[in-house]
Amino acid sequence: MNRLIQGRVLLKSVACNALKSNQWRTIGTTSNRLQSTSSADGAPQHYDIIIVGGGMVGTALACALGKNSRLQDKRILLLEAAPGFKEPSAEQYSNRVSAISKGTYRLMQSIGAWEEIERTRVKPVLKMQVWDACSDALITFNYDDLSENISWIVENDVLLASVYRQLRSVPSVEIRYASKLASCELIRDGAEKSTVQLASGERLCCDLLVGADGYNSLVRRQMGVHNFTLAYNQMGVVATLRLAPPRTADNVTAWQRFLPTGPIALLPLNDEMSSLVWSTGVAEAKQLLQLDAAAFASAVNAAFNKPVPHNSLVDDVMKSVHKLIKTTTGGQRFESAPVVEAEVPNSRAAFPLGLGHTSTYVGQGVCLIGDAAHRVHPLAGQGVNLGFGDVQALTDVLASANYAGLGVNNLNELVRYEQQRLKHNLPVLLTTHSLQRLYTTDFVPTVALRSIGLTLTNALPPVKKFLMNFAMS
């Protein structure tokens, strides 16, 4: 008996050491174990909830559900098509970052991931300056004492890794990598349960299937719902940039300039580096990708600082507006963006931009979150925050429904999730789309109207604070 106990202790010790030393290998082992536990009679293996898509939003949902005390009796499976998870580089910053809102910050705290993020890399944003290249209109966002964060800049890889580390301690959640979804059958199609078939041929069934599989969602297509899409004919060029000396004491400002071709933004990563998100036409984006490092840095500096011809009518209108509100746009208010010294090697990339929104987020035994349900322009930094808002709302609804004995696939309860998110998501989608259209033209009447609106908003602190709180809630 003592030898048996010692053997079990030894096996447990080996397993714990493997878990700490190699996360990718641990999860791969879990995946193999799961695939070997299919029913002997060939019937689909059953889970209470299957989440399709192991990106930031899908993984956060798995963690939030697994850690909720009212859902700990539920068996949850996270399916990810990628072959495995790799820790982010300790030395090199990723070129894809997110401006984390206060709502997302609270979610990360609730699942225990925020401490992991802070231990890795995160940069607070205390101030934001936005200005129009076609006029002297600008707006700044910050709290009165400059001590409260507007947002936090976090690399997507760092956030994802931090959530994955939390999942290691959640026994009710299982992860399968290299598990590409081939097809799915929903309860509305006549199935008793929502059923998925993997590319390997294996079939799985569940009470609730969650599509977190991006804007090309297979789950959404199977739902048969209408999905409105609009291509902006723009691409977002991203890169990690090193700032030129002399640098500010603390790089805590996010900068955004609206050019006639689209906005360019510089987001702080640390005191010496910032992340670039440059939205522009497809042709210009491809040209930017072809530039050498020095020419690219020069192009970024020119985009932030090069004068754009102003229309005299717009200038006259703005003089009247400033006189009306008794303010100016002189040097005391406008600050220049930091000068870029160089691009971090191999950090440049581009991705297409567009708008998308599905006609419904839910069905019997199925629901959508994140980009599978909605897609927005990155100019307001709201895309991933909308997805994390979906995570929080869906977790709360499912927890309440399960506690009340209604299970996790009650359609009336899922509709409550949809209604909550529509109230927030639709205004953000409409606002970002309107801003994209408003600021990608140099049509004189449009320039005059948007400049008046921006200047008046900047002169009204209560309005600015309301907009800031809504965007970052």
Report, as an integer, the average pLDDT of 215-223. Answer: 96
Torsions phi, psi of 186, nearest 5? -105, 165
Q: Could you read off the pLDDT of 280-300 as tens digits, one per residue?
A: 999 999 999 999 999 999 999
Q: Write down the mean pLDDT value for the chain.
A: 88
Q: Other C-beta atoms within 10 Å of 323: how many?
A: 10
Which of 56-70, 138-152, 396-410 is the least confident region? 138-152
| pLDDT at residue 156 in the model | 95
- Give the pLDDT band of residue 266 (cuts 50, 70, 90): very high
Which residues, listed in sequence order, are joined to residue 78 by a DSSP beta bridge? 51, 175
Could you read off the pLDDT of 227-242 as tens digits, one per residue?
A: 999 999 999 999 999 9
Q: Which band of pLDDT confidence, cut at 50, 70 and 90, is reported for residue 146?
A: low
pLDDT exceeds cutoff 50 at 33: no
Q: Are 421 and 396 in contact (CB under 8 A)?
A: no
For 347-357, what is each residue's pLDDT tens digit?
999 999 999 99
Q: Measuring CA to CA, which residue among 131, 68, 112, 172 is closest to residue 402?
A: 68
Domain architecture of the chain: domains with CATH: 45-472 (3.50.50.60)
Over range 139-156, report the average pLDDT. Answer: 87
The single residue listed with the structure tokens 């529509």 is: 422
Residue 9 clears pLDDT 60, i.e. is over it = no
Q: If you ran DSSP here, which 8-state letter would residue 124 be given?
A: E
What pLDDT is attached to residue 88? 86
Length of the chain equals 473
pLDDT of 315 strictly over 90: yes
Say which DSSP state 70 is in: G
